[in-house]
Amino acid sequence: MNQNVVSGLPRFTVGNAAPGFAELRASNLGVRLAVSADELDAVQALRYQVFYGEMGAKADAATSASHRDCDEFDAIADHLLVVDHDLGEGASSVVGTYRLIREEPALKFGRFYSEGEYDISMLKDFPGRTLELGRSCTAEAYRSRSVMQLLWRGIAAYVFHYGIDLMFGCASLAGTDPDALAGELTYLATHHMAPEAIRPRALPSRYVEMRRTDPEEVNPKQALLRLPPLVKGYLRLGGFVGEGAVIDHQFNTTDISIVVQTDLVTDKYYRHYEREAR
């Protein structure tokens, strides 16, 4: 595998991209994997803009100096891109991203990102191929249902290509006061808890109870509407949540664990792509 080195970390080039994983197009927009160090740099710049510039994440000195959101997991991940061809090609066209970490590189590296917040031992023992999703964001002008659907088409194609059986990751609700999110957290814990066999649990030192109020006092429709679009997208795909929330003070968020079995992914994404591929 070819690698570049950026900021002291190994970076993939074309060698990391899934063979045969072609760009999917929707008018001027496309979704594909990053294939160069420049595109990875654009991903990290976009993440910095969204997470630190807009969402109030707290940057350390290195992050402030570089204006990049990066960590050691970027080097072992595939980076799904939404590109706008009207803006040009390559790095200049990147307007959205999703970080995808497959089981094989994570095991070689020694851990998944989620293990900093959750006990995912039951997922690592899952009898099938797993994929960790994370670090999703889009530029402000591209936060629409159509762009989110395009991202999910890309994930579905990736899932189909690698034969992924289960997806998981951490999703975020804005803010670090769980009581301000009592309705949303209680709704998720009451209606979308993962089966015990695939249920991550927040690490004891970080565990925050999700059932923060009487479920009878929570209006499910209103709670669902208040959830971030990404979380609602997971739920539409038949996703579940793990047990316990985690406060991430650096990123100014309350995190939840998400688990999606790909045999539950709707026709709109996975099965649709499967038919196209055939």
Per-residue pLDDT of the chain in tens (278 residues, 90 and over written 9) = 233 333 333 333 333 455 557 899 899 999 999 999 999 999 999 999 999 999 999 999 999 999 999 999 999 999 999 999 999 999 999 999 999 999 999 999 999 999 999 999 999 999 999 999 999 999 999 998 889 889 988 998 899 889 999 999 999 999 999 999 999 999 999 999 999 999 999 999 999 999 999 999 999 999 999 999 989 989 988 899 999 999 999 999 999 999 999 876 645 565 555 555 55
Which of helix, strand or coil describes residue 256? strand
Q: Which of 193, 3, 12 is nearest to 100 (CA)?
A: 12
pLDDT the model gives residue 16: 47
Q: Which CATH architecture has domain 3-277?
A: 3-Layer(aba) Sandwich (3.40)
Q: How would you class 206 by CB atoms within 10 Å of its CB: exposed for 0-12, middle for 13-18, buried for 19 or more?
A: middle
Domains of the chain by residue range: 3-277
Pairing outcome for strands 166-174 and 130-138: parallel
Q: Would you state the pLDDT for residue 1?
A: 28
Cα–Cα distance, 170 to 151 (Å, whole number)? 17
- Residue type, position 207, single letter: Y
Q: Is the dihedral of CA 22, 5, 136, 166 positive or negative?
A: positive
Q: What are the residues facing 79 on neighbouring strands?
A: 99
Q: What is the pTM of this model?
A: 0.88
pLDDT score at 7: 33
Cβ neighbours around 75 below 10 Å, total: 18
Angstrom distances, CA of residue 278 to CA of 50, 131, 272, 274: 37, 23, 10, 6
